[in-house]
Each structure stands twice: as C-alpha cells, then as structure tokens.
Structure 1
Amino acid sequence: MSVAATDNRGLMLAMMEPPASLEDEFQQWYDSEHFPERRSIEGFLTANRIVCIDGWPRYAAMYDLSDLEVMRGTGYANISGDNYSRWTDRIMGHVWGQYRAEATQIYPGKALFGDNGACSRVALWRFRAVTETLMTEIVDGLRTLYEERPETAQVRVFRSQQQDAIDCLGIVELHSPWKPAEGQTAVFGAALKHLDLVNIYTRYQRVWGGTYPQQK
C-alpha cells in the first residue's frame, strides 16, 4: 500500500512521567493549564489523556490536528517554546521519560480518535529509525494483527520526523482488552527489529473533589 501523506490529519503525542514527589502538582498542572491550553487551539480536533497500565512512561496525551501546519501557527506559538508559563517550565524540568512526536497520519489518513466509538484500551506501538518501505510493512502488519477483530475499534498509523530519524507510530483503539499471541509479531518482517515500545493505556479520568454523591 502507499503511505503518501498529502493533506492527511496530523497528530501531536507527548509522553512523560513525574517523580512521585511531584505527582499531585503534575496532575493539577496538566488538568488546569497545560491540557486546556492545547485543547482550545484552532486546528486541534481532539484531545485525550491516557494512562499506561502496561509499559512506561505512565502518562500520554494525544491531540488530533487538522494538519501538521497547526504546530507552526500563531495559536500554538503563543503557548510553546519561549512562551511557556513559569509553571510549565518548572514541571517540564522534572518529568522523566519524555517523548514527543509531531506526526502525519499515513493510515487511514483522516481518522480521528473515537471515530468508531468508545474504547477501553489504547495500544501504542513505536518503531524507531524506519524507512518508507518499512512503514508499509508496519501498516500492513498492524492491520493484519488488529483489523477484523471484534475487540478492535480502530487502527491508525503515523509518520513522525524526529531530529535523528523517522519514527512510525501505531495507535490502536480497542473496545475491550486484547493483545497478539506469542509469535504473531512476525507479521512485521524486517520492521520488527525497529520496534522499541508497545504500551497499553486506558483513558485518563479525573473526578474532582466534592463531585461524588454525599451519603446521608
């Protein structure tokens, strides 16, 4: 299959974990400042926080973009880089396991998170330093593993130009938990040696204090 990405949707993915001593402040910062800032930018089409239950680092945020040019617009420039808040500078200086990707959706092209309904799990596959040919194998491999299964809500694949190489990211939304059996990853062929991360997430939810019904 072709992996041409003209006019396809974009993605911004951020992964990180705070030290235990910063956990409460990290959640306050993410929920009250960092996440709302990005969610409100024109061209950010979806915004989701997810929590890793198998793998590391523990927290990730995913934003579907109308296209990657959103990341170079004034809306994002106003809250990033030199315009980070003092709170953001403080938190970002302490978190671990940071990984960030600006990516283009190469399969299916324009799908958004949640297009096929709710999911209880999200599987994130990362292949490092891949070629265009290997990306085709990755797309085909993920489709072979997941598509047509009743547990699968949606398979999407993204190409991310990193500073040192090209990464390929597979994001699989699952209606219910499921993972490939031993040996099934052989479907990736030569791309398998580039696989360096398979994390399983569930949706992040925060219940604010005082929102539970009070017993009388």
Structure 2
Amino acid sequence: MYDPIRASDAVIQRLRANHPSLIDLTTGRVERLLATLGRPDMRLPPVIHVAGTNGKGSTTAFLRVMAEAAGLSVHVLTSPHLVRFAERIRIAGRLITDEALDALTDRLEAVNAGEPISFFEITTVLALVAFAETPADLCIIEVGLGGRFDATNIFDTPAVSVITPVDYDHLEMLGPELSKIAWEKAGIIKADRPVV
C-alpha cells in the first residue's frame, strides 16, 4: 500500500546520512556547488527572500497564495517540512515528486563528489536546480537560519527582501544580543534593492 507520508523518507535518510548538519556559517559550500552546476541560481525568476524569527513561514505561504491568486506560477523553498520532505520544494505550484527528488539527489551527489556540504545546503541547491529547470513567474525563498550566512543568501539582486519580526533565536550562532540577531537577519538586504 502506498503511503504518501513515508514516500520521501528514503531521500531524507540518504541526505541526512551523506550530509549531516555540519553548519558552516558561510555560503562558500553552496556557492562552490552552484558554480560547478553552472549557476542555476542565476536562471531563476524574480526572487522574494524572506528572513526573520517569527512568521517567515506564514509570510512565505501568504506571498505564494497571493501570487497564485493573481495568476502567477510560483516556485517556493521553505523549511522545515511538517509531514513530508517534499513540502520544502514547490515547483511552479506543485510539490516536487519523489521521482524528481531521487533524480536530483543522484545528480547533485555525483557533482558534489563527496565534498563537505550540510543537509540544508544540499537541499537548497537541489531546490534551486529544480527551479532553474522549470519556468515560473516568481520564486519565494525562506531563510533557514539567520540570514547573512544562510545557505539561501546567494542572491545579489532579489526582487525584494522581507524581514519578519525578529526575536531571540539560535543564540549560540546568532546572538546573544537582539541587535546582533537582527544584524544577522538583515544580511539578506542588498544594495539598491527593496526591503520590507
């Protein structure tokens, strides 16, 4: 019997086993893999980049629903997932399929060639490759941790950066002062680009 909740568990186990949570507060590993892949991040539709402590997931969901209601095709990267890993990657309005997830994982692991990269970093690259290969009108990317050195912070010219309310979180990496946490999250703000 097919169980959609468990269908992508094998991919999660594989990604977590091969790419443990080696948090590296730089974007270097993501940049390296993206460069090896021919910079798929440069072939995306306009990007809305969302950071913050509270409400970034809800903000991302609201933005997606509003854009889709306006007739736009939207790619979305969120984290974490609630039930299935595929919830993290929405390609032009549809969750990534288990088959596409398997195929992309095979490709990325071959290209990465055993170099260090974390679970979140390879998931981010996987989503960006999927997005680059499917036309859409808009791309909404939710930050995983912080902002400045988050794996998603590789966009020089986002359409807009969004920062939701900031509070005390990940103190061991971002804090301990609230001003330092806010500064880290503000790292997604880019010169001459709008920010909300």
Q: TM-score range by the shorter chain?
A: under 0.3
- The normalised TM-score by structure 1 is 0.26
- The normalised TM-score by structure 2 is 0.28
- Higher helix fraction: Structure 1 or Structure 2? 2
